[in-house]
A = this chain, B = another copy of it.
Amino acid sequence: MEEKLERLDDNGLDLLFRNARTMNGWQDIAVSEEQLREIYDLFKFGPTSANSSPARIVFLKSVEAKERLLPALSPQNVEKTKTAPVTAIIAWDTEFYEKLPKLFPHADAKPWFASNAALSHETAFRNSSLQGAYFMLAARAVGLDCGPMSGFDVEKVNAEFFPDGKWKANFICNIGHGDESKLFPRSPRLDFEEACTIL
């Protein structure tokens, strides 16, 4: 009989959470298409509302693709993005509900969203953010580091990469093997009592 893992051990928890850091510099080690597919084949399983899976990812791997992004970045994000092996634009599909007949086959869920622009926007933004987090933890789980950023001109990114307006950028994330010499000291976190209540 197959043994199911009950929980991650300390090394696994360190890898995903306790020792994982947002990287500001990168080693010169490529990230392959196979690795990007492996990350996708993990993070796609994370839960979303009605399995709507609204996130779309544009992986910028070539120098030419990267060059198109750089003018939209805040100055402090340019150098690290230039040197990252891959930069992912985590976007959402404003018409994600068109895929619901495939994704949620047991009910006619498309009209719930297609007829309600506010609900549709909120669902796409919340769930593509959830998926962005699954993406980062999946990347860490397969041994890569992440460097997420919101410091960019979203209108410029949308105009450059999504001129038809169907996809919208949520945030950007460099991935690769981080250069630990470029790390800042870790900033404090809130205490349990500042962030949580038990009723």
Q: Which residues of A contact B (CB under 8 A)?
A: 4-8, 11-20, 22, 33, 36-37, 40-47, 49, 51, 53, 55-62, 64-65, 99, 102-106, 123, 125-127, 129-134, 136-138, 141-143, 146, 148, 150, 170-171, 184, 187-190, 192, 194-199
Q: Which of A47, A136, A148, A194 has the most C-beta atoms of chain B within 10 angstroms of its own C-beta?
A: A47
Q: How far, in whole Å, are A127 and B132 apart by their CA atoms in the complex? A: 10
This protein's copies in its complex:
2
Taken together as a complex, chains A and B put the C-alpha atoms of A91 and B121 apart, in Å, by 18
Given known contacts A59-B196, A133-B129, A148 and B33 CB-to-CB distance under 8 angstroms:
no
B194 touches A40 (CB 8 A): no
A88 CB to nearest B CB, Å: 9
CA gap between A112 and B19 in the complex, in Å: 29
Whether B49 pairs with A150 at a CB distance below 8 angstroms is: yes
Q: How far is the CB of A161 from chain B (nearest CB, A)?
A: 8
List chain B residues, Cβ under 8 A from A141.
7-8, 12-13, 16-17
Give which listed residue, B58, B125, B190, contacts A99 with CB less than 8 A. Answer: B190
